[in-house]
Chain A
Amino acid sequence: MRHVDLTGRGNYFEDFTVGQRLRHIRGRTVTNEDNMRWTLRTLNTAQAHFNLEYATGMLDGIFPERLVMGGATLALVVGMTSEDLAEQTVRELGYDDIRLTAPVFQGDTLWAESEVLELTGLDDEPGAGTLTYRFRGWKGTDTTVATGTRRIVVRRRPAGAGKESS
């Protein structure tokens, strides 16, 4: 087994172009297990995420359910972008301008799209480059739930990796 065969062949640094837009193929239906797992395992004490009576009693009862913790929504949206954009990530640099624009509840199905904003070579790292992309996650007909940009260092195609013909 060669490690180079464990990942895709069409998502190395040189396969991307600035302005390229992707609509990611897989959606993700959120459960309260997703919500509570990442709330509780990260020691997040905000009970609107794990106490149904508290969540539905807040703000005169505007929420029908526990609010999905924002960091979980963000991770699920970014996760949907990952095979297309970040499978060859060497390391993550960061995120900017994250906004969570609508509440998410169990049963909501999330979808994601992305746009490549910037591609920069690295002088001291000839085998990789920096990829910056904007992502947007939405639910329902088109209610945006999360937007932001992500910066990652992506591997260039190594010798012997082959190139995807598609």
Chain B
Amino acid sequence: MTDVTEPRTVMRGTYYDDHEPGRRFVHHWGRTLTRHDVIDFATMTNQYNPLHFNVEYARAHGHPDVVAPGLLVYNICLGLSVEDLSEAGGPFLNLTGVTFLQPVYPGDTLTCESVVLDRRLSKSRPGWGIVEWESAGHRQDGECVVRYRRANLALTREGSGNVQ
């Protein structure tokens, strides 16, 4: 028997309308860091501090392994949050209050969650709004390792032409 139905595209991402202040998102997947991740990020982005790529130096300074650069930890939390928060939206506007609370090492697994702090419609761009979130990244033992506030331009459902 031939299936005559059209293939369906599973839509991904969210609109401005979905970001009620106070709404909490537990983001998908999680991500385990490897030593390669840490050394590769540090070296490929020119982070010249041996704590990130010399394990003997890191141990001599009291760490069990190389230390993940803060921006690697931030970028992983950001990446995990994109489908829920900003994938269908517009450009990144600002990032502030980035606070690193605990060191992250190879073998640690990060998960991320976010809360909508605020939103407003754009006066200059019809069909768009600005949403601000607070996000937090956690290690497998439950310790919060990073927090930050991020704001993006977000498309409204009406502005997307995808009114449901």
Contacts and interface: CB of A to CB of B under 8 A. Distances in A.
B98 A95 contact: yes
Contact of B44 (A34, A42, A44, A80): A34
A163 interface: no
Interface string A88-103: 1111111111111000
B70 A26 contact: no
Interface residues of B, number: 46
B50 A71 contact: no
B96 interface: yes
Chain A at the B interface: SS class: mixed
B115 to A, nearest CB: 19
B105 to A, nearest CB: 13
A87 B121 CA distance: 43
A76 B97 CA distance: 20
Interface of A: 3, 6-7, 26, 28, 34, 37-39, 41-47, 70-72, 74-76, 78-80, 82-83, 86-100, 148
Interface of B: 12, 29, 31, 37, 40-41, 44-51, 54, 56-57, 60-61, 67, 69-72, 74-76, 78-80, 82-83, 86-87, 91-100, 103, 148
